[in-house]
Structure formats: C-alpha cells, structure tokens
Amino acid sequence: MDPSTTAIEHKVHARVGLLGNPSDVYYGRTISFSLGNFWASVRLQPSDHLVISPHPTHDLVQFDSLSHLVNRLNNEGYYGGVRLLMALCKIFYNYCRDNKIDLQGGNFTISYDTNIPRQTGLSGSSAIVCAALNCLLDFYNVRHLIKVEVRPNLVLNAEKELGIVAGLQDRVAQVYGGLVYMDFSKNYMDDLGHGIYTPMEINLLPPLHLIYAENPSDSGKVHSSVRQRWLDGDKFIISSMEEVANLPLEGQAALLEKNYTKFADLMNRNFDLRRAMFGDDVLGALNLKMVEVARSVGAAAKFTGSGGAVVAFCPDGASQAKLLEDACNEAGFVIQPVKFVPSCLNELDLKTLPPQ
C-alpha cells in the first residue's frame, strides 16, 4: 500500500468529568473518563491542495428557505467544525516551527464527523480537535516528537484561538482516553505548563448512567461571577473550590478500594458545592431538574461538565437503575448506560511519557 495515498482516520470519544470539575481552571484536581457512547472522527487523505472539507450537516451553507436558515441558526448557532480544524492546523504548525520539528509531507484533505450531542457538556468540540491532532501526528510522522502531556495544551490552544473558554481537563481525558486522575496544582502549571496526569484502570469504575436532554434549551447561559470572585480573593469561593479540588483525592482512594458508597457521596458533594458557588440561575432549570430526577430515586448525580448532561450512579444496583430509567423517561430525558473505553495511547505515545 502506497503511504502517500493512504487515508488516516482517528476517533476520539466524548468525556465525562467525574469528580473535581470545575477546579481544573482553579489549580485543582479532577478525575475524568472517556465516554464510549459518543465520538468524533477525523479523516485525513493526502491530496494536491490543502482542503478543509465542510461537514454536510454541521457546516450547512445551502438551505430550503430563509426560515430554514434562521431556524437552523437558532438551534445550531453559526459555527460548525471547519473553524476547529483550521485553528488546530495553525496551532500545530506554529508549535512544530517553534520547537524545530520539521514537517515533511505534502498537502491533505481533512474532514470530520461527529455523533456527540450538541450543548450537552460532553466536549464535542475538543473531540474533533483531538482527533484531527492525531491525524496530523501520523501524517507528518511526529507522534514520537510531541509529548502526550503537551498535546492537551495544543487542543486547548486551538479552541482558545476561537474564543472558546475552557480548561485542560477535557482535553487530557480525550488525549489519554480511559480513566485519568489529574493534578493541576499551581506549581506544576507554572513549572511545566501542564498538570500531572495519572491513568487509572477503567474497570475500577462502577456502572454509571448518562442523562441528557434531547433538545437542550438555553438554560444555564447566565454569566457567572465565580471566576472574578475567585480572582478577587472571595473566601467562600476559594474555600469551596479547594474542597472541590480535594474530592478527587478522596475519590481516587475510594475507587482503588472499590468503596462505592463513599464515591456516591463525593459525586453528590461535588454538585452541591458547584450549586452553592454558581447559583441556580447560572446552572439553569433544565440542568437542575436532571440532577433532581436522579436524586429522587436515591442515585448520586452531578454534571458531566458545566451543564447539559448528568452522570448518575445507582449504589443500590439494578433495581435502582430501573427506577432511574423510569423517572428519566417520565421527565422526558434521554438516559443511557455509560459505555467505558480503555486508554487510546499506543506504544509511540507511551514512550513520550515520564516514568510513573
């Protein structure tokens, strides 16, 4: 097979922030895992010209009518995935240039597809960027030259280029795959430019459920003052965020001991702290209802990200999970058992990691 004509394809899954979010942007800690239920894929094919292919659905430029166009914009917004691929190409090129990494290779055509539901806080944008980065690493044969620990920064920088405000947690989960414990302590971030990331065995996790709304409203779009209050030294915000950052420390121990009762308490505490800091107007009525429905049957529940979807755990097992499914169906929410996927790192990737 001629490598100059071979297509490269990579798939990156959605992610669930299991404990510690949103402390990743406050020098905290998190535990996250990749969600096998949904993914984005990117395909790169060598070509004469460099082409970024628009997606037939997500980058629509042809409409049935003016009302179709307006409805489409109201529901989907102005942005598809083309800008994500362009931004990554720029960030990747600049990083390689600045680090004296020679990019040998011609042009390519790059396209994407995704089934990650929009506005669900499952990191759909970063999945596309991460999958594209994997394609570029292989196309230019530089996977061994760009450390795994640095790659989440490249993904995040591409999104920052577009004004997307986010932290490293999601990108780490998607670069590594599987279950990852992350420490974003200030000394690591200042000295290394990234956190310390520790993969964990995915089979430590108990059965979990994903809950989301099929047609999310704009609930939870009220601007939050938490960041500014934290910067201003607000004692309640600082102490609450420190408590959130300590939950993954306890959570890691609870998972290793398979103490799932303790783990359920930590999930609930994570959400309660977020709610106390951000307030109900910021969290949004729909997001709150998803958590309340889960808790009504005794399940532990928290956001997977900043809202849009909820991860739930039924400590009492299958009978409780059936009650949870019934409650979600009655409330009009989609519920699915979580599919776990192992780490996606290969031998070349592992060689770039520091010894554990």
- How many residues does the structure list for the chain? 356
Nearest 5°: phi and psi at 29?
-135, 155
Tokens at 74, concatenated: 């109201």
For the domain made up of 8-204, the CATH class stated in words is: alpha beta
Virtual torsion, Cα 44, 48, 50, 51, nearest 10 deg: -70
Question: How many other CB atoms sit within 10 Å of the CB of residue 216?
Answer: 20
Q: Round to whole Å and give the CA distance between 55 and 40.
A: 12
Average confidence (pLDDT) per 10 residues, the chain, 356 residues: 73 97 94 97 96 85 89 76 94 97 93 90 92 97 96 95 88 96 96 95 97 68 80 95 97 97 98 96 93 98 92 97 98 97 90 80
Query: Which residue out of 170, 190, 232, 265 is catalytically annotated?
Result: 170
* Strand arrangement of the beta sheet that strand 334-337 belongs to: 300-303, 309-313, 209-212, 334-337
Cis peptide, bond prior to residue 22, ω within 30 of zero: yes
Q: Which residues contact residue 96 at a Cβ distance below 8 angstroms, ignoring those fewer than 6 apart?
A: 102, 103, 140, 142, 146
The domain locations on the chain are 8-204, 208-337
Tokens at 258, concatenated: 């398979």
pLDDT at 356: 64
Q: Which residues contact residue 323 at a Cβ distance below 8 angstroms, ignoring those fewer than 6 apart?
A: 297, 298
Are both 8-204 and 208-337 of the same fold? no
pLDDT at 219: 40
Q: How distant, in Å, are the alpha carbons of 55, 59, 112 from that of 62? A: 12, 9, 19
From 80, 140, 62, 64, select the one nearest 105 (Cα to Cα).
Answer: 140
pTM given for the model: 0.92
Q: Round to whole Å and give the CA distance between 127 and 68.
A: 28
**208-337 domain in CATH 3.40.50.720?**
no
From 73, 24, 79, 328, select the one nearest 195 (Cα to Cα).
Answer: 24
Contact between residue 281 and residue 222 where contact means Cβ atoms under 8 Å apart: yes
From 346, 43, 1, 39, select the one nearest 176 (Cα to Cα).
Answer: 346
Q: Round to whole Å and give the CA distance between 158 and 60.
A: 22
- Pairing assessment for the beta strands 107-114 and 51-52 based on DSSP bridges: parallel
Q: What is the 3-state secondary structure (H, E, C) of the chain?
A: CCCCCCCEEEEEEEEEEEECCCHHHHCCEEEEEEEEEEEEEEEEEEECCCEECCCCCCCCCCCCCHHHHHHHHHHHCCCCCHHHHHHHHHHHHHHHHHCCCCCCCCEEEEEEEECCCCCCCCCHHHHHHHHHHHHHHHHCCCCCCCCHHHHHHHHHHHHHCCCCCCCCHHHHHHHHECEEEEECCHHHHHHHCCCEEEEECHHHCCCCEEEECCCCCCCCCCCCCHHHHHHCCCHHHHHHHHHHHHHHHHHHHHHHCCCHHHHHHHHHHHHHHHHHHHCHHHHCHHHHHHHHHHHHCCCEEEECCCCCEEEEECCCCHHHHHHHHHHHHHHCCEEEECCECCECCCHHHHHCCCCC
pLDDT at 260: 97
170 counts as catalytic: yes
